[in-house]
Structure 1
Amino acid sequence: MAQPTIATLTQRYQPEELLDSFAYMNALLALTAQRQQPIVHYWQLPTTVILGLLDQQLPALSAGLTQLKKTGYQVLLRNSGGLAVVADTGVLNVSLFLPAQRDTYSIEAAYQLMTRYVQAVWPTLPIVAGEIKQSYCPGDYDLSINGQKIAGMSQRRTANALVIMLYISINGDQDQRSQLIQAFYTTSLAGQLDDRFPQVDPAVMTTVADQLNQPLTVDQAIARFNQILAQHGAVDPNQLPQLIEEPEFQAHLTHAYHDMQRRQQRLHQ
């Protein structure tokens, strides 16, 4: 059986394009189902805190949001569960889209697929999956090295496609990112105890560059991800930039963008 062509798209969003990130995710999910073709979307946001749906239940959320904005961070409420994560120029998001029926991959199998992908990118690092409880946005499929988290994952599914979304800290000041989220939860909880939200310890998070003990750029990381992809099919970086200009895709994107706009209003209720 012939290997598939894997379409890739790399985007670095500007501050005014904040909502495009997750709007593209929804539109690319529809495109994956339509074309029955795997897609890998590499994307980055400028200094942003991406909140999960659960964060809306913080008792003093407005105070936490004010604090984040004072430190120069934008805030985005994503359309999936989980908790707050940081995006900046040292953090890479890798979204792996697969044409699949709902029973093609179990939730666990999909996470294992992304885990193996990341392990193959850096085979010299002892990357394992498992919850790092005092990290920000802890989950069963955190990726860590010697107990320090480098990445987290989430999924979205439709009837005919799924996306496994990974954020991975490539370089930069991970202590500062962790302290930012630590302070956000301290302020937003306003002295209340709620074990649904993490007590973030900066010591349990790190970056790939720190673990390699050498400089690593996001572009170098993307090149490594593409090298591994090329073992599973032809990697085509030219197809998607043309497809996303087509009227049908733009209609999906506009609809998804308006959904994201409406979602953001919940932060100000």
Structure 2
Amino acid sequence: MGFTDIPITVIRKTYTAADKLIAFADTNALLADCDQFQRPFIHFWTTSQPTLILGINDRHLPKLTAGLQYLVRQNYDYFLRNSGGLAVISDPGVLNISLFVPDHQQKLTVDAAYEIIAGLMRSTFPTFNLDTYEVINSYCPGKYDLSVNGQKIAGIAQRRSKGAVALMLYLSVTGNQDERSEIVSEFYHAGAAYSQNQWSFPQVDKSVMTTVSDLGFAALDLSTVERAFLTAVSHRGMSLDLDGSHQLLRSETYLDLQKKQLRKIQLRNQQLPII
């Protein structure tokens, strides 16, 4: 059973270091558009270079400057998003999937909304026994972490407006997941995360995270996962609009929304120390 009878517009974007902040400006603009016009979207995106995306709570690291300096030494980019509490990594081997669900009439509960995208992921990987529970020692642990045999491959967050829900998932498809985990772990150590007890930061254990590729799909790439996810959506009886994204993203209405949201993200990132 689907969650909409309106064709879902599919958007694919890769963000460079120069336009990295647009990733979450797009997220917020699409959520606003979904709310206003009650039309659904799927936003596939990634970053062209390794990037640590800080959560709101990461601003409270006692030695945030030292943590950011560590990232720079490791040739990692970074920015501060406006959703979720803790850091995640994006790079060319990580697929970010944002699903925007109109919700004026359904009024989905938090758990019901999470189950929509968790169910789609189970259909995307039918051979996996995907579990949903918090993987404690992963980075950015949450109630709806997706794991296989105890190892996390994806994390899910959500944002809400009055009449829409954005379900945001990062999926580790390929690449060196141990290295990603070590980067986050060392970032927290450099930032003196464990020298205080007001804010909780994970003790990242690389053994509790893996990639889809390392689970036996060595030839897999992000495009293959995108197609499998869209097939899962179609099998739920929903139709896809694969051609409408260019017109949407160039429309005056959308560009105005994006510009407004980008300014908010820029102001938020000005809170970070200058490195």
Q: Which runs of 5 or more residues in structure 1 are unaligned?
A: none
Aligned residue type for 2:222:
V
Alignment TM-score, normalising by the size of structure 2: 0.94
* 2:6 paired residue among 4, 7, 10: 4
Alignment TM-score, normalising by the size of structure 1: 0.96
The answer to whether the Cα contact below 8 Å between 1:102 and 1:159 also exists between their aligned partners in 2 is no
Aligned residue type for 1:108:
D
The answer to whether the Cα contact below 8 Å between 1:125 and 1:212 also exists between their aligned partners in 2 is no
Partner of 1:204: 208
CA distance in 2, matches of 1:96, 1:62: 33
Whether 2:153 is the aligned partner of 1:150: answer yes
Partner of 1:268: helix, strand, or coil?
Answer: coil
Taking a change above 3 Å as real, the CA distance of residues 9 and 144 of structure 1, as seen in their structure-2 partners, is same
Partner of 2:154: helix, strand, or coil?
Answer: strand
Partner of 1:14: 16
CA distance in 1, matches of 2:17, 2:58: 22
CA distance in 2, matches of 1:102, 1:198: 37
The answer to whether the Cα contact below 8 Å between 1:102 and 1:157 also exists between their aligned partners in 2 is no
Aligned residue type for 1:212:
G
Whether 2:218 is the aligned partner of 1:214: answer yes
Whether 2:63 is the aligned partner of 1:60: answer yes
Moved >3 Å (runs of 4+): none
The answer to whether the Cα contact below 8 Å between 2:194 and 2:201 also exists between their aligned partners in 1 is no
For each residue in 1:128-164, what CA deviation from the matched residue of structure 2 results, as whole angstroms up to 9, or x when unmatched? 1000000000111110001100000111111111100
Aligned residue type for 1:107:
V
- The Cα shift of 1:32 comes to 1.1
Whether 2:247 is the aligned partner of 1:242: answer yes
Aligned pairs for 1:30-41 within 5 A = 30-41=32-43
Partner of 1:49: helix, strand, or coil?
Answer: strand
Aligned residue type for 1:39:
F
Whether 2:162 is the aligned partner of 1:163: answer no
Partner of 1:259: 264
Partner of 2:167: helix, strand, or coil?
Answer: strand
- The Cα shift of 1:253 comes to 0.5
- The Cα shift of 1:4 comes to 2.5
Taking a change above 3 Å as real, the CA distance of residues 33 and 167 of structure 1, as seen in their structure-2 partners, is same
Partner of 2:232: 228
- The Cα shift of 1:191 comes to 5.7
CA distance in 1, matches of 2:73, 2:174: 24
The answer to whether the Cα contact below 8 Å between 1:48 and 1:87 also exists between their aligned partners in 2 is yes
Partner of 2:85: 82
CA RMSD across the alignment: 1.7
The answer to whether the Cα contact below 8 Å between 1:19 and 1:76 also exists between their aligned partners in 2 is yes
Partner of 2:12: helix, strand, or coil?
Answer: strand
Q: Which runs of 5 or more residues in structure 2 are unaligned?
A: none
For each residue in 1:153-182, what CA deviation from the matched residue of structure 2 results, as whole angstroms up to 9, or x when unmatched? 111111111100000000100000000001
Identity of aligned residues (%): 39
* Structure 1 range deviating more: 159-168 or 29-38: 29-38
Taking a change above 3 Å as real, the CA distance of residues 71 and 236 of structure 1, as seen in their structure-2 partners, is same
For each residue in 1:102-132, what CA deviation from the matched residue of structure 2 results, as whole angstroms up to 9, or x when unmatched? 9711111111111111011001011110000
Aligned residue type for 2:82:
N
CA distance in 2, matches of 1:102, 1:60: 45
For each residue in 1:184-206, what CA deviation from the matched residue of structure 2 results, as whole angstroms up to 9, or x when unmatched? 01111166154710000000000
The answer to whether the Cα contact below 8 Å between 1:102 and 1:158 also exists between their aligned partners in 2 is no
The answer to whether the Cα contact below 8 Å between 1:131 and 1:140 also exists between their aligned partners in 2 is yes
